[in-house]
Amino acid sequence: MYFSVCLCLVICILYLWLRYKLSYWERRGAPSLPVNFFSSELKWLVMKQSRFQYFKDIYDQLAPHKYGGYSVMPLKMMVRDPEIIKFVLTKEFESFSSREKLFFTKSDPLTHFIFNLEGNEWKDTRARLTPGFSSGKLKYMFDLIAECADEMDKSLHINEDRQLVDVCKVLRLYVMNVIFTCTYGLKVNSMKNGCDIFLKMAGLIRGDNEINRKLANFSFIFPSAIRHYIRPSTFGEYSRDFFKGIIMDSIKYREENDIKRNDFLQIFMTLMKAEDEFKWTIDKTLAHGILYIMAGFSTTTSAVSFLLYEMAKHPDMQKKVHKELDEIMEEFDGTLNYECVSNTNYLNKVISETMRKYSVISSFSRRCTSTCTLPDGFVVEKGTAVVVSVSGLHHDPAYYPDPLKFDPERFNEENKNARHPYCFLPFGAGPRYCIGERFSMLMIKAATFTILKKFSVSVLPEHEIEFDFMPNKLTTEVPSIKLQFTHRQRTTDIQ
């Protein structure tokens, strides 16, 4: 009897506590979605729904409100209004300077890359890494990217008039080549031998393991439970030792042979030798080498793959790109260089529209580090995660009519000036915008130049893709895109 009474009392207390917690947004007078772990949220957690669709659904369901809550454990709200997004990301950055951490554990130094850092440690790290992504540094580094693009070009043995090519597979090898060359100072010759071991290791780093992906998904919903009690092994010892060995061998070889190279590893080596209070260690070098794989591998591969697919679907737009590339290549005597990719106009629109429609990064967030009042008077309490749905913004008909239509002219000067700039956020915004934006754009443009300067691409009906993405990825991806490659004659030659 006594046990039954105690059990009932515990259940009642738990019920009342849960009701109180679940009514958080209602008590605060904020719009919100019902907290229901058995619908869309569960689909995302067990990887039955893509992140792209998950965050777009929340964005759509919160309409027409400027913001609203959708989670209470932990506290999460989504901001939909571009002006409030600007307020959070830029104007009140000091109150929203932290992120939700990715694969982070305090005991694992390899998760202490810039994405996960906070406060002065983030500021110091950002200040030291930023010069490596300047126009001047990237201009020198572009020669390395161009070499990888040339290797991709030579690997495309298109002998028939029309040949089917899995562009995702080709571009994965190209991007891996670029990242390993520019980050680790290592030529892996991926286009020649496929480099299964490097692809496998890169896959482990990117979370190509179902258990780790599920733990990562749960960490966004229950971060304290996952990070402090379950403590998933983010990077296995094998992959850790593999990449650390590469970096240590490369550093040793350069030091012994007095070699300097225009790449990220050289920047890391300079930071390690700096005599100041900020200690850049080999673990920091390895952590950021891992970050560049995580951040750049799938995103760049997907962006170029989707771009080529849209060109295959829209021959008229492809002809415009061909014409622009031919004119630029003729101006620079057929040599792919930094000036070539810096002089594009129509291609810039095509890339922007690709990033809008496919939103490779579907969302990002900022965590409130000190209680802050929004312009309309609503108080965001410390610890609340403020989420921006990139896929939602980029597919909002209010900003982009007929959002599933591919239309590069959305990004002509007139249309861009008519829109709020915070309606287009492929790389984030504010002081914590993606530090690798320029580097990523150079990879995208180099690959696009290399393929479209020689080939026309088309798609057969049986190889058309649905606008539905892989549910088990942090980025917007499809497993394969197969296009027909056909040799073409340059438009300048025809004239």
Torsion angle in degrees (nearest 10) through CA of 67, 39, 73, 68: 10
Tell me how far apart the alpha carbons of residues 91 and 112 are, in angstroms, rounded to a whole number.
26
- pLDDT (tens digit per residue) in 20-64: 777 888 888 889 888 654 444 555 555 567 888 889 999 999 999
Binding-site sequence positions for heme: 434
Q: What pLDDT does residue 467 have?
A: 66
Q: In what order do the strands lie in the sheet with 67-72?
A: 67-72, 75-79, 385-389, 363-367
Enter the tokens of residue 91. 């104007």
Residue 224 domain flag: yes
Do 101 and 116 contact (CB within 8 A), yes or no? yes
Residue 358 domain flag: yes
Do 187 and 246 contact (CB within 8 A), yes or no? no
Q: What pLDDT does residue 439 have?
A: 94
Q: What are the residues facing 69 on neighbouring strands?
A: 32, 77
Collapse the DSSP code of 248 into the 3-class scheme (helix H, G, I; strand E, B; otherwise coil) and give the result: helix
Q: What pLDDT does residue 457 have?
A: 95
Q: Which domain holds residue 214?
A: 32-62+75-487
Residue 245 domain flag: yes
CA dihedral for 38, 44, 45, 46, sign (positive or negative) = positive
Which CATH number goes with the domain that contains 378? 1.10.630.10
Residue 4 domain flag: no
Tell me phi and psi for residue 412, to 5 degrees: -75, 165
Residue 51 domain flag: yes
Q: What pLDDT does residue 38 have?
A: 44
Tell me how far apart the alpha carbons of residues 437 and 446 are, in angstroms, rounded to a whole number.
14
Binding-site sequence positions: 434
Predicted TM-score (pTM) above 0.85: yes
Task: State the residue for tokens 């990825």.
Answer: 473
Enter the tokens of residue 120. 């002065």
Residue 68 domain flag: no
DSSP H/E element including 77? strand 75-79
Residue 67 domain flag: no
Residue 11 domain flag: no
Collapse the DSSP code of 231 into the 3-class scheme (helix H, G, I; strand E, B; otherwise coil) and give the result: coil
Domains of the chain: total: 1
User: What are the 10-residue block averages of pLDDT along the chain, 495 residues in total?
Assistant: 78 79 84 65 61 90 94 87 97 91 64 82 90 90 93 79 86 89 78 62 56 56 50 60 84 89 89 82 85 81 94 96 95 91 96 94 92 94 94 96 96 96 95 92 96 93 74 67 87 53
Q: What pLDDT does residue 14 have?
A: 81
Give residue 52's identity as a one-letter amino acid code: F
